[in-house]
Amino acid sequence: MLDLPGLWLEPEDRQLLRQPEVGGMILFARNTESPAQVRELVASIRAVRPDMLIAIDQEGGRVQRLRRGVQRLPALADIAFKGGDQAAAAARSAAWLMATEMLACGIDISFAPVLDLDHGRSQVIGSRSLGGNPEQVSFLASAYIDGLAQAGMAATGKHFPGHGWAEADSHFALPVDERSEAQIRELDLKPFALLASQLGGIMPAHVVYSQVDSLPAGFSRYWLQNVLREELGFAGVIFSDDLSMAGAHAVGGIPQRIDAAVASGCDMLLICNDRAAAEEGLLHAQRLGLQAPANIAAMLARRTVPIDYKASPEWGMHYSLLRGLGLV
């Protein structure tokens, strides 16, 4: 899964899209000016590759790539602050609104919800979390996943097995979580364990859990195969986090990161914000004979959402609920 430099496809982008090893595109803020522009960009991608999975990070709060012409969504922490059934209803409505707006733009998935616990240590997680209690996070995330499903979007939980304890930001450094495996299982792993059957995708963390494995979770067969696949029974898509992030550099250059991610069991590898790295990775993928994973098909069961979706009674119901709680 690669990215694009701007608002429109350039000739070199079209050539990149034609490569069969490219299975997805992720959109960033630089690619999103308005819903109409995003629809046009997505249509141009689909004209080259109708089977392309298109993703975005549209969590709400400070992580919302498309902001103009769509609903500004609350941070998950603001939703959780409402407490109990009100928070669950708000999580369901926020997810429905987000998914409906993204599907109306032609986007298949948003990488959401965040399942990391907020231990008051990680600034990169912080308000993106639904709280510090694993039962609360699981309860509210289940409601969020329900909202996505009602709108017609698959859920992707992140960042397995939990990024909330490690203080460093994996975009710029390699975070280390020094706790025991028992502590991680008792707290951070719980939302992933409880919700594994409801998730279409999971994204592992570029975090080293030093008492468990010397490799970051996204490169660890123990975490992805022994725990996630075998123990938790997760059958969906494992997306690597961005292999260009500093937290991924621990295993070497781009070819080594690809090899390690594939060996650990990642199904789709993200290389973003570095076109030279993406091109190097693509050449390596071609040498390996990598292809887009078959289990991505469920995420490509696209629901068509009309452009005038805001006129629907469902939209009014979900918007009114959030407005009544002071969240929009």
Q: Which two tokens stand for residue 266?
A: 């990642």
Per residue in 250-271, pLDDT (tens digit) is: 889 999 999 999 999 999 999 9
Q: Which of 119, 171, 213, 249 is catalytic?
A: 171
pLDDT of residue 136: 98
Residue 108 annotated as catalytic: no
Alpha-carbon distance of 310 to 294, in angstroms, equals 34
Average model confidence (pLDDT) across the chain:
95
Structure tokens at 143: 């409601």
What are the tens digits of pLDDT across the range 284-294?
999 999 887 77
Q: What percent of the chain has pLDDT over 70?
A: 100
What does the CA dihedral 1, 5, 14, 218 come to, rounded to 10 degrees? -10
Q: How many CA atoms lie within 13 A of 248 on its CB side?
A: 25
103 close to 151: Cβ distance less than 8 angstroms: yes
Do 143 and 113 meet the contact criterion of CB atoms below 8 Å apart?
A: no
Q: How confident is the model at residue 148 (pLDDT cuts 50, 70, 90)?
A: very high
Q: Are strands 237-238 and 109-110 parallel, antiparallel or unpaired?
A: unpaired
pLDDT at position 169 is 73
Higher pLDDT, 304 or 76: 76
pTM of the complete model: 0.96
Whole-angstrom distance, CA of residue 3 vs CA of residue 221: 27
Give whole-number Cα distances, 297 to 68, 201, 209, 271, in Å: 30, 12, 32, 21
- State the average pLDDT over residues 88-97: 98
Q: What is the pLDDT of residues 227-238, one digit of tens each?
A: 999 999 999 999
User: What are the tens digits of pLDDT across the range 117-131?
Assistant: 999 999 899 999 999
15-33 pLDDT, tens digit per residue, is 999 999 999 999 999 999 9
Q: For residue 172, what pLDDT band results from cuts at 50, 70 and 90?
A: confident
Instruction: Indicate if 119 belongs to the active site.
Output: no
- 57, 108, 118, 241: which is the annotated catalytic residue? 241
pLDDT at residue 301, as a whole number: 82
**What CATH number does the domain located at 86-276+287-324 have?**
3.20.20.300
